[in-house]
Amino acid sequence: MTLDQCDELAAENQAGFAQLLEALDEAALDQEIPYTNSAGLSFHSRRSDILLHVALHGCYHRGQVALLLRRAGNEPQPTDYIAFVRGAAAATRAP
């Protein structure tokens, strides 16, 4: 995918996720959802736990990408949530 295609897909995913969250009430968040993982194992999890997993799993992959970029001699973009919310980059130890 090109960077523009990635940007478009990210925007579509964000809009869809926001729409899903807005439609859920407390009862829907507590609902048990049956699913089968990529290894073929079946589970039941609360919808709220699945949604939290989605958010946290993205952090895991952002860390992986940052590590790979550093190993390649590049400086990754800041990905701290608090920096995103406040609209300013996170602090560094550089003077």
**Cα diameter, the chain:** 51
Share of the chain above pLDDT 70, in %: 92
21: in domain: no
In a domain, 51, yes or no: yes
Residue 88 Ramachandran class (φ > 0 left, ψ -120 to 50 alpha, else beta): beta
56 in a domain, yes or no? yes
In a domain, 66, yes or no: yes
Range of the domain at 54: 46-89
Q: Total domain count for the chain?
A: 1
Q: Is residue 84 part of a domain?
A: yes
Nearest-angstrom CA–CA distance, 62 and 28: 29
Answer yes or no: is 70 within a domain. Answer: yes
What digits encode the pLDDT tens for the residues 48-80? Answer: 999 999 888 988 998 999 999 999 999 888 778
Residue 51: what pLDDT? 93
- Return the structure tokens found at 9: 């897909």
Q: Is residue 62 part of a domain?
A: yes
User: For residues 32 and 13, what is the distance between their CA atoms, to the nearest angstrom?
Assistant: 23
36: three-class secondary structure by DSSP: strand
85 in any annotated domain: yes
State what percent of residues in the chain have pLDDT above 90: 66
